[in-house]
Amino acid sequence: MNKIGIIGAGVMGTDLAQMTAESGFSVRLYDSSEKKLKDALSTIESRLHRYEKKQRITSAERESIIAQIKTVNNISEFSDSDIILEAVYEDLSVKKEVFAQLDKTCSPASVLASITSSISITEIASATVRPESVIGLHFLNPARVMPLVEIVPGFSTTRETVEMSKSFLKKLKKDFIEAKDYPGFYLNRILYPMINEATFLLYEGGAKPEVIDKAMKKGLNLPMGPLEIADMVGLDVVLAIGEEMLRGYADNKYRPCPLLRRYVASGYLGKKTKRGFYIY
């Protein structure tokens, strides 16, 4: 197991490409946007230069890591990949379209993994004729830093696929838990309501963002407050998680706060756009 395919060169896809290359995997990175591919490589090269200056890696190691990453212009390039990591936008129809393409292209032995943070793996797998090879691997943001990954088997996912995924994560030096295939899995089932309730508190004029976050950080000894976390993850991603959980559970407690919708509609998505609950 040494060939990795990654679909999506956004924040998550860029992190995945870097850390898999650092772990010695041969990486192919695909995105429909040529600009995103160039930006991803530029970001990785910039980070590695900083690592070299801090003497975390040598010049030879930096060059070796970069050499492990190849950008491609067609999903057909993933035909011999051992594991494909899908990191596109959090939308079921988009993901199903990607998995339908992978199903036609990839080897029967390939593991098809979605990085989704909330969408049912069983629903995603229904776009293929090999649901036994489809699995969820929910990396937390920023993926290169956060130690935990949620492994989410779908209804038909085999134990062989689960064990291959565990072996892959061990090579990345990641810890993991196995979660049930319900919207939000474990982490976002707990985290999203906290972020959403903090947003409602802000929406109702209860407190300023820094006060809300300070209450959670100092009161519960958390490293980050819920609104800071939301800005880091991306408010568009948080909204997509909330909408998926509302759809999946049909429970009004998951209804996204109107202020969250307003921020996303305004393009205030958090750190990636330099403005969210905070200005960066």
Q: Examine residue 232 and state whether it is found in any structural domain, yes or no.
A: yes
Q: What CATH number did the domain enclosing 244 receive?
A: 1.10.1040.10
Q: Which of 22, 90, 133, 138 is catalytic?
A: 138
Residue 90's domain spans which residues?
3-178
User: How many domains, the chain?
Assistant: 2
pLDDT > 70 fraction of the chain, expressed in percent and rounded: 100
pLDDT > 90 fraction of the chain, expressed in percent and rounded: 98
Q: Which of 188, 228, 243, 244 is catalytic?
A: 188
Q: Which of 117, 118, 120, 196 is catalytic?
A: 117
Residue 109 has pLDDT above 90, yes or no: yes
For residues 52 and 119, state if they share a domain. yes
Residue 162 has pLDDT above 90, yes or no: yes
CA dist 172 to 22, 139, 247, 265, Å?
A: 9, 12, 33, 36
HSE, CB side, 13 Å, CA atoms: give it for residue 51. 17
Q: Examine residue 12 and state whether it is found in any structural domain, yes or no.
A: yes
For residues 174 and 227, state if they share a domain. no
pLDDT digits (tens, 9 = 90+) for 240-260: 999 999 999 999 999 999 999
**What's this model's pTM, rounded to 2 decimal places?**
0.91
Q: Examine residue 278 and state whether it is found in any structural domain, yes or no.
A: no
* Mean pLDDT computed over 109-124: 96
CA dist 171 to 66, 127, 191, Å?
A: 18, 29, 27
The pLDDT value recorded for residue 141 is 86
The pLDDT value recorded for residue 1 is 82
Q: Which of 86, 90, 150, 244 is catalytic?
A: 150
63 a catalytic residue: no
CA dist 6 to 21, 110, 151, 155, 271, Å?
A: 11, 13, 17, 24, 23
For residues 102 and 219, state if they share a domain. no
Q: Examine residue 252 and state whether it is found in any structural domain, yes or no.
A: yes
pLDDT digits (tens, 9 = 90+) for 180-212: 999 999 999 999 999 999 999 999 998 999 999
For residues 167 and 233, state if they share a domain. no
For residues 36 and 173, state if they share a domain. yes
pLDDT digits (tens, 9 = 90+) for 43-99: 999 999 999 999 999 999 999 999 999 999 999 999 999 999 999 999 999 999 999
The values of phi and psi at residue 17, to 5°, are -65, -45
Residues 6 or more apart whose Cβ sits within 8 Å of residue 5:
27, 28, 30, 77, 78, 81, 83, 84, 85, 106
For residues 139 and 258, state if they share a domain. no
Domain boundary among 178, 197, 222: 178
* Mean pLDDT computed over 113-141: 96
204 a catalytic residue: no
The pLDDT value recorded for residue 136 is 98
Q: Do the beta carbons of residue 234 and residue 241 sit within 8 Å?
A: no
188 a catalytic residue: yes
State the DSSP H helix or E strand holding residue 164, giving kind and residue range, or none if neither. Answer: helix 159-171
Q: Is 83 left (phi over 0), alpha (psi -120 to 50) or beta?
A: beta
150 a catalytic residue: yes
The values of phi and psi at residue 114, to 5°, are -100, 140
* Mean pLDDT computed over 128-141: 96
For residues 65 and 124, state if they share a domain. yes
Q: Do the beta carbons of residue 99 and residue 110 sit within 8 Å?
A: no
Q: Examine residue 277 and state whether it is found in any structural domain, yes or no.
A: no
